[in-house]
Structure 1
Amino acid sequence: MEEEEVKRERQRKRRRGSVRGRRVIHRNRVEGHNRLYRDYFADNPVYHDVYFRRRFRMHKPLFCRVISNIEAYNHYFVQRNNATGVSGLSSLQKVIAAYRILAYGVSADLLDGTIHIGESTTIESLRHFVKAIVAVFCEPYLRAPNAVDLSRLLQFNEQREFPGMIGSIDCMHWEWKNCPTAWQSMYSGHFRTPTIILEAVASHNLWTWHAFFGMPGSLNDITVLERSSIFSALANGRFPPVNFTVNGNDYRMGYYLADGIYPSWLLS
């Protein structure tokens, strides 16, 4: 019975073409794609690499690599023609719409005027995009560094005169707009508005291989550090060894670069 109910629900939600009385908006999707291409991806784009890095939060080669992998994984992002031969939305429009929502927190409807993509399609693209990112990049990136990764990180950091540094650690606050009234005092700290804390460790090229999210904003960074699992692998002897020498002294444990709130904390 449950399977039949799920099947009927899916059939009910399935799109069945035009709806009587609904106004059709001719968005000129081709022009929306061409504008994005001229602005950022042409041989002589309107906005050069500095603007691309600032607006997309990454360099153009990395973005092109991401979109190429997303297209190969999920054909939803491949541009197709409808039954009348009209070109549908391009992968650039769908992926950039998802990027803008994730990077800036804008509403789906706001992107219609710039990317020429409808609100429901933007939300659908975001769901497909998030699932594809996790499926494609989870294994190589969403993990702690192994011995090979650690050796590469230590070598690069030593060239920057930080021998033995594993990565940079810090916390940031995400505003919780719809925080329940009863919880607001618990989640409000020096930001005066309810926030949720994200603790992260990143490398020089922004490889974020540790993320601990969910602590209330009333806590400080050192309290969050005590509750996270950042040192669990090291305490249990599962973290690759780190050996380096500074001023003639040999050390067998790496360290994280942090700001002044973090005390010197050596695991025994």
Structure 2
Amino acid sequence: MLTLLSQLVTRKHLKHDQEGSHQQIWKDYFVENCTYPANYFHRRYCMRRELFLRILKDVEAYDEYFIQKKDCCGRLECSSIHKMMAAVCILAYKFLGDHCDEYLKMGKTTTIESLKRFCYVVIALYEGKYLRSPNEQDITRLL
């Protein structure tokens, strides 16, 4: 049995500091005297902070995957902000890159799962209002 277990190929576990990363994200973008002004957030994530936080609230209410939990060892997993930032970054720039691992402290598997779930939730929540063809009222308002 031991020889069989020793032959199993396992992934190398990287120690991601999700708690520290979460605190850094808040310090960088969401506190009163944040490191980066609002236009940096808009440029980096292609939306205003207020819109990001409103969508985040809706996403958390719809899918509990986005709510931060503890793992089996009692450590905090990625926060909802981590997961949504990763998904938005991939959608905005069309690449996975090392941004998620280096800044957000997220592994590739979590990043991809976050992207899939985020897309599903956005469609489920907003399809009827925002992901449709414009109606007469929309056209009138825009013109």
> TM-score normalised to the size of structure 2?
0.86
Q: For this pair of structures, how many residues does the alignment match?
A: 136
1:133 to 122, 139, 142: 122
Q: Which is richer in strand? A: 1
Displacement of 1:105: 2.1
Q: Distance in 2 between matches of 1:85 and 1:52?
A: 31
Partner residue of 1:74?
A: 63
Check whether the contact 1:79–1:87 (CA below 8 A) recurs between aligned residues. yes
Alignment of 1:1-268 (within 5 A): 21-154=10-143
Q: Which amino acid aligns with 2:85?
A: I
> TM-score normalised to the size of structure 1?
0.48
Structure of higher RCO (CA pairs closer than 8 Å, 6+ residues apart): 2
1:74–1:108 Cα change, 3 Å: farther
Q: Distance in 2 between matches of 1:62 and 1:32?
A: 21
Q: Distance in 1 between matches of 2:123 and 2:10?
A: 39
1:153–1:38 Cα change, 3 Å: same
Unpaired runs of 5+ residues, structure 2, are 1-7
1:132–1:114 Cα change, 3 Å: same
Q: Which is richer in helix? A: 2
Q: What's the % identity of the aligned pairs? A: 38
Unpaired runs of 5+ residues, structure 1, are 1-18, 155-268
